[in-house]
Amino acid sequence: MSKIAIIILSDPRYGCEDALGKVFNGLAAAYDYKQSGDQVEVLFQGAGTRWPAELQKLNHPANDLYKAVEDTIKGVSMACAAAFGAEPSGLDLIKGNQIPETPGLPSLAQLTREGFTIITF
């Protein structure tokens, strides 16, 4: 069994097809690993912290896929959500990497120590 951490960094704010493609492919990868029985965690970081509010909308084209992997979503970066004005949308705020003068970000070092392979979208 593999351990995979998928980090969503793309920004939905400008409606760019590239950003939608990245989040869709990130969630599709999470779905693929989940279906294969692997341990997968999805984190939203940077401008990607804006995605959960969009993906939770019933009319969003990736809503069904989001719901299919919702149980794999670990949360959103606390510092990034604050910096980008994103709502956590009911998700946990992750702050294991205590960068000075921030409320904290996910710790990629901790994820790799725990055996996770990190994939970014």
Q: What is the pLDDT of residue 7?
A: 98
With bands split at pLDDT 50, 70 and 90, how would you rate the model's confidence at 88?
confident
Mean model confidence pLDDT for the chain:
96
Q: What is the pLDDT of residue 73?
A: 98
pLDDT digits (tens, 9 = 90+) for 89-103: 999 999 999 999 999
CB 19 within 8 A of CB 12: yes
Annotate the chain with DSSP letters as a single string: --EEEEEE----TT--HHHHHHHHHHHHHHHHHHHTT-EEEEEE-GGGGGHHHHHTSTTSTTHHHHHHHGGGEEEEEHHHHHHHT---TTPPEE--B--TTSS-B--HHHHHHTTPEEEE-
Residue spans of the domains in the chain: they are 3-120
With bands split at pLDDT 50, 70 and 90, how would you rate the model's confidence at 111?
very high
pLDDT of residue 16 exceeding 90, the answer is no
- Name the CATH topology of 3-120: Hypothetical Protein Ychn; Chain: A, (3.40.1260)
Average pLDDT over every residue of 109-116: 98
Q: What is the pLDDT of residue 1?
A: 87
With bands split at pLDDT 50, 70 and 90, how would you rate the model's confidence at 19?
very high
Q: What is the pLDDT of residue 105?
A: 94
Q: What is the pLDDT of residue 117?
A: 98
